């Protein structure tokens, strides 16, 4: 367990030194430790979605394959189309579905006699 903790901490230090613009390098940012790494990484991901995709309070749909040279989230699948969003949940939130008629309501599809 101690070796795993040391490994994670070492990997975290190396990542902070390599990745430019990492929020933990800012003067007013809290110190990132093994205990708060998950929260810090989540905050970084959400900030990237907001800044790069304008995904605050709305869905941002990516309609083409992920660019492997520029990813906000590491290890995106090249055969998957993604949608991103960040919502402020301090007040109630309602997400509605668009009116698609009966396009998605029948399963299995109805087969009409000819």
Size of the chain in residues: 114
- In the chain, where does DSSP find H-type helix? 2-18, 37-53
Domain that holds residue 9: 2-84
73 inside domain = yes
Tally of helices (H runs) and strands (E runs) in the chain: 2, 2
CA atoms of 59 and 61, how far apart (whole Å): 6
97 inside domain = no
110 inside domain = no
> Number of structural domains, the chain?
1
112 inside domain = no
The predicted model gives 38-61 an average pLDDT of: 91
pLDDT value at residue 38: 93
45 burial type by CB count under 10 A (0-12 exposed, 13-18 middle, 19+ buried): middle
CA distances from 4 to 9, 38, 57, 113 (A): 9, 16, 38, 64
Predicted TM-score (pTM) of this structure:
0.54
- What proportion of the chain, given as a percentage, has pLDDT over 70? 66
6 inside domain = yes
44 inside domain = yes
Reported as a single tens digit per residue, the pLDDT across 83-101 is: 889 999 998 888 887 777 7
103 inside domain = no
79 inside domain = yes
């Amino acid at each position: 367990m101690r070796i795993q903790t040391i490994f994670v901490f070492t990997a975290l230090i190396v990542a902070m030194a390599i990745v430019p613009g990492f929020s933990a390098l800012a003067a007013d940012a809290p110190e990132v430790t093994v205990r708060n790494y998950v929260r810090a990484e989540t905050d970084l991901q959400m900030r990237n979605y907001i800044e790069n995709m304008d995904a605050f309070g709305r869905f941002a749909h990516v309609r083409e394959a992920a660019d492997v040279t520029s990813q906000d989230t590491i290890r995106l699948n090249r055969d998957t189309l993604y949608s991103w969003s960040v919502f402020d949940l301090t007040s109630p939130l309602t997400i509605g579905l668009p009116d698609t008629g009966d396009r998605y309501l029948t399963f299995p599809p109805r087969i009409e006699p000819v």
